[in-house]
Amino acid sequence: MDQRFFKMKIAEDLKQIILKAVETSGFKVDKEKIKLEHPSDINFGDYSTNIAMVLAKEDGKNPRELANEIIKNIGNSELIDKVEVAGTGFINFYLKPEVMIEEAETINYEVEFRNKLSEYGKNKTMVIDYSAPNIAKPFGIGHLRSTDIGQAIYNLYKILGWNCIGDNHIGDWGTQYGKLTAAIIRAKNGDKRFQIGDNFELEKMTIADLEKLYVTFHKEAEVDESLIDEGRDWFAKLENGDKEAREIWQKCIDISLLEFEKVYQMLGVHIDFIHGESFYEDMLPGIMKEIEGKGITKKSEGATIVELPEMPPAMLRKSNETTTYFTRDMATIKYRIENWNPDLIVYEVGVDQQLHFRQVFETAKLMGWWPKNGMIHVAHGLIRWPTGKFSTRKGDTIHLSDVIEKATEEAEKIAEKSSVNKDLTATEKGKMIKAVALGAIKFSDLAADPRKDVIFDWDKIMSLDGDSGPYLQYTYARCKSVLNKTAIREQKNIETLPEDVNEDEVALIREFYKFEEKIIEAAERFSPAVIAEYILGVARKYNEFYAKNRIIDQKEEVFRVFLTKTTASVIETGLDLLGIETVEKM
Ligand code: ARG
């Protein structure tokens, strides 16, 4: 899944220095083979490489001796303070304080920081397919995950200068809408099993009615199999432009889109385009012809399938001539390539669709519809609940509204107990509760690697001293309250480190320069969790520092305010990338 699109400045310069030293020592090495990492213990420097061990192994040499030889060939540089050999042959680098200070300063000048980052993705375009709920179905927790992660990936690429296009591939076409239409027709014709309200009126239907009808349809179909055929027929009618089918379907879309819009507004999400599956309808005959023309299809029991290596065939056209989810995804790719010519296409969709995307990607490759940097399925895991802690109204699909309601209750509790809250106005308090509730939900979604499942545990999600959104928001508010108490609250830069700098301060200053790298790493790995983890680390180090050091009216005030200011900048920008709001007071 990893892609390398970016070159990081400090790490890249360091690799160049290592490369030269290695070559001077008489070795040849591919620069890409030089690995750098941050030692977890800062007593081993800021960066460490195992290159001496790798080369020694290839050459049958003593790795430690070789490491010592290499470091002799590392001359003075603007980056490095000192170099050491450690353990069985690691080479550890300590960055110059000036370098770390300069990086921290840049973060405080937001425009400058953003300009610097935007150089990375110049002239690159990515399309990201995310959220994509289905009409007539509630916006569930799975689509929330796609929305949160998708938006964060969008934000990451955007800050790195990519031209980003968010495309919402709403589910509004397919057999399931035939089923829904069948259910609505039955409700309209007074079939008691499908009764909703006293008098059926298409105009007055709500999203809850649609959901109910859809669930009823499936329940009834278990005892009355003819319903399944009826649903299939209605989809065929829909595809053939039947007037009544179209009218009902359009109504369902209108109701659902209004509902989704409300959800997006509440979540603070804006997706550039909505192109539902139905959008591609006109393209489908041509697409099928083109794929058939490539000679990769076969007839099978009246259907047309695409045969693929090492995976089951994909269905291009069903025996009743209707199209499939797969066909529509192929049309979507063609459309995106023709319209936007992207370098990269990202799909943020649940892991249960892995096979589907393998089939789609393989077929796209065979067709030559393949962007320069490829296509990626960021397959998110499930959200799970520790049993007993959360139940839904109906006990079935988990509705986003239930989750938000519960998070809001918890945020209200935080508002009550928080000590720095006293001077909050009612409006500020309302804003804070909303930011904390949404921040908690989003953060828990984003802090786990997308590919892993998330356990939604309310105590952890809302904890003010754990790895949570509220903890970060609280730390940010703490920084703000410190800054409000000093006259030098705009302390964005400093000359050098103080002579008697202490270990809490050092630990912090040695974190900030990593921000840029982490943004790049998060983008390359399509994992907003990299950012979540990083800002948590900064917040923890800040809170350790805060617990032990006074800031205001100390001789170290300038330096400590600078550390506070930079921490606030990192948390604010980091949370912003994750789509989470900060609050000034909490
Ligand atoms: N609507 C689909 C679902 O809820 C997700 C669509 C994902 N995007 C795509 N291009 N297939 O399962």
In the reported structure, the alpha carbon of residue 10 is separated from the centroid of ligand 1 by a whole-number distance in angstroms of: 39
In the reported structure, the alpha carbon of residue 360 is separated from the centroid of ligand 1 by a whole-number distance in angstroms of: 12
List phi, psi (to 5°) of 544: -65, -45
Supply the pLDDT for residue 420.
Answer: 57
Closest atom of ligand 1 relative to the 171 alpha carbon = 1
In the reported structure, the alpha carbon of residue 170 is separated from the centroid of ligand 1 by a whole-number distance in angstroms of: 7
Residue 415 shares a structural domain with residue 353: no
How many domains is the chain partitioned into structurally?
3
Question: Looking only at Cα atoms, what is the longest distance across the chain?
Answer: 89
Mean pLDDT, residues 257-276: 95
Contact 525, 156 (CB under 8 A): no
Instruction: Verify whether ligand 1 is closer than 6 Å to residue 145 (CB atom).
Output: no
Average pLDDT, the chain: 92
Residue 454 lies in a domain: no
Q: Provide DSSP, 117-156.
A: HHTTTTT-EEEEE----BTTS--BHHHHHHHHHHHHHHHH
In the reported structure, the alpha carbon of residue 186 is separated from the centroid of ligand 1 by a whole-number distance in angstroms of: 28
Tell me which of 45, 80, 95 is where a domain ends. 95
In the reported structure, the alpha carbon of residue 53 is separated from the centroid of ligand 1 by a whole-number distance in angstroms of: 47
Nearest alpha carbon, ligand 1 atom 9:
169
Residue 117 lies in a domain: no
Residues 6+ apart with CB under 8 A from 570: 107, 512, 515, 535, 538
In the reported structure, the alpha carbon of residue 339 is separated from the centroid of ligand 1 by a whole-number distance in angstroms of: 20
Residue 194 shares a structural domain with residue 270: yes
Supply the pLDDT for residue 398.
Answer: 72
Residue 384 pLDDT grade (very low, low, confident, very high; cuts 50, 70, 90): confident
Supply the pLDDT for residue 1.
Answer: 45
List phi, psi (to 5°) of 309: -70, 135
Instruction: Verify whether ligand 1 is closer than 6 Å to residue 150 (CB atom).
Output: no
| CATH number, residue 567 | 1.10.730.10
Residue 406 lies in a domain: yes
Q: How many CA atoms lie within 13 A of 218 on its CB side?
A: 8
Nearest alpha carbon, ligand 1 atom 4:
133
Residue 106 lies in a domain: no
pTM of the model: 0.94
Helix (H), strand (E) at residue 22: helix 9-24
Q: How far apart are CA 142 and CA 146, in angstroms?
A: 7
Residue 337 shares a structural domain with residue 203: yes
Residue 419 pLDDT grade (very low, low, confident, very high; cuts 50, 70, 90): low
Residue 166 shares a structural domain with residue 209: yes
Q: Exposed, middle or buried, 222 (CB in 10 Å: 0-12/13-18/19+)?
A: exposed
In the reported structure, the alpha carbon of residue 554 is separated from the centroid of ligand 1 by a whole-number distance in angstroms of: 57
| CATH number, residue 63 | 3.30.1360.70
Q: Provide DSSP, 194-213.
A: G--SSS--GGG--HHHHHHH
Instruction: Verify whether ligand 1 is closer than 6 Å to residue 479 (CB atom).
Output: no
Closest atom of ligand 1 relative to the 142 alpha carbon = 4
Residue 343 shares a structural domain with residue 434: no
Could you report the per-residue pLDDT of 559-575, keeping only the tens digit for each?
Answer: 999 999 999 999 999 99
Q: How far apart are CA 248 and CA 190, in angstroms?
A: 16
Integer CA distances (angstroms), 150 to 154, 160, 257, 420, in order: 6, 16, 19, 34
Residues 6+ apart with CB under 8 A from 343: 124, 125, 126, 371, 372, 373
Instruction: Verify whether ligand 1 is closer than 6 Å to residue 349 (CB atom).
Output: yes
Integer CA distances (angstroms), 139 to 134, 148, 262, 382, 442, in order: 8, 13, 11, 15, 15
Structure tokens at 99: 């370098």
Structure tokens at 204: 């007055």
Instruction: Verify whether ligand 1 is closer than 6 Å to residue 169 (CB atom).
Output: yes
Residue 13 shares a structural domain with residue 71: yes
Instruction: Verify whether ligand 1 is closer than 6 Å to residue 161 (CB atom).
Output: no
Nearest alpha carbon, ligand 1 atom 8:
169
Tell me which of 344, 368, 389 is where a domain ends. 389
Structure tokens at 80: 């490095």
Residue 331 shares a structural domain with residue 205: yes
Residue 456 pLDDT grade (very low, low, confident, very high; cuts 50, 70, 90): confident
Q: How far apart are CA 579 and CA 42, in angstroms?
A: 31
Closest atom of ligand 1 relative to the 170 alpha carbon = 1
Question: CB neighbours (10 Å) of residue 198?
Answer: 6
Residue 23 shares a structural domain with residue 130: no
Inter-axis angle of helices 503-512 and 557-577, to 10 degrees? Answer: 40
Helix (H), strand (E) at residue 95: strand 90-95
| Torsion angle in degrees (nearest 10) through CA of 429, 434, 439, 441 | 130
H-assigned helices in 448-583: 458-461, 469-484, 503-512, 514-524, 529-548, 557-577
Nearest alpha carbon, ligand 1 atom 5:
132
Mapping DSSP to helix (H, G, I), strand (E, B) and coil, where does residue 303 land? strand
Could you report the per-residue pLDDT of 468-507, keeping only the tens digit for each?
Answer: 999 999 999 999 999 999 999 888 999 999 999 999 999 9
Instruction: Name the residue of 145, 147, 260, 353 whose CB sits within 8 Å of the most ligand 1 atoms, as the mutation to test its pocket.
Output: 353
Residue 387 pLDDT grade (very low, low, confident, very high; cuts 50, 70, 90): low
Tell me which of 389, 410, 425 is where a domain ends. 389
| CATH number, residue 170 | 3.40.50.620
Nearest alpha carbon, ligand 1 atom 11:
329
DSSP bridge pairs for 166: 128
Residue 111 lies in a domain: no
In the reported structure, the alpha carbon of residue 450 is separated from the centroid of ligand 1 by a whole-number distance in angstroms of: 16
Supply the pLDDT for residue 210.
Answer: 92
Instruction: Verify whether ligand 1 is closer than 6 Å to residue 171 (CB atom).
Output: yes
Q: How far apart are CA 586 and CA 567, in angstroms?
A: 17
Q: Exposed, middle or buried, 13 (CB in 10 Å: 0-12/13-18/19+)?
A: middle
Output b/e per residue, 496-521; b: 16+ Cβ within 10 A.
eeeeeeeebbbbbbbbbbbbbbbbbb
Contact 142, 171 (CB under 8 A): no
Instruction: Verify whether ligand 1 is closer than 6 Å to residue 80 (CB atom).
Output: no
Instruction: Name the residue of 349, 354, 375, 376 whose CB sits within 8 Å of the most ligand 1 atoms, as the mutation to test its pocket.
Output: 349
Q: How many CA atoms lie within 13 A of 503 on its CB side?
A: 4
Closest atom of ligand 1 relative to the 353 alpha carbon = 12
Residue 538 lies in a domain: yes
Instruction: Name the residue of 135, 141, 169, 356 whose CB sits within 8 Å of the most ligand 1 atoms, as the mutation to test its pocket.
Output: 169
Residue 145 shares a structural domain with residue 224: yes
Residue 259 lies in a domain: yes
Top mean-pLDDT range of 44-48, 195-199, 421-425: 44-48
Residue 100 lies in a domain: no
Report the alpha-carbon angle 424-429-433, nearest 5.
145
Residue 358 shares a structural domain with residue 405: no
DSSP bridge pairs for 49: 91
In the reported structure, the alpha carbon of residue 158 is separated from the centroid of ligand 1 by a whole-number distance in angstroms of: 23
Strands (E), 329-398: 344-350, 375-380, 383-384
Structure tokens at 269: 């999400």
Residue 467 shares a structural domain with residue 562: yes
Could you report the per-residue pLDDT of 311-350, keeping only the tens digit for each?
Answer: 999 999 999 888 999 999 999 999 999 999 999 999 999 9
Residue 39 shares a structural domain with residue 168: no
Instruction: Verify whether ligand 1 is closer than 6 Å to residue 129 (CB atom).
Output: yes
Residue 395 predicted with pLDDT over 70: no
Supply the pLDDT for residue 136.
Answer: 82
User: What residues make up the domain containing 511?
Assistant: 400-449+460-577
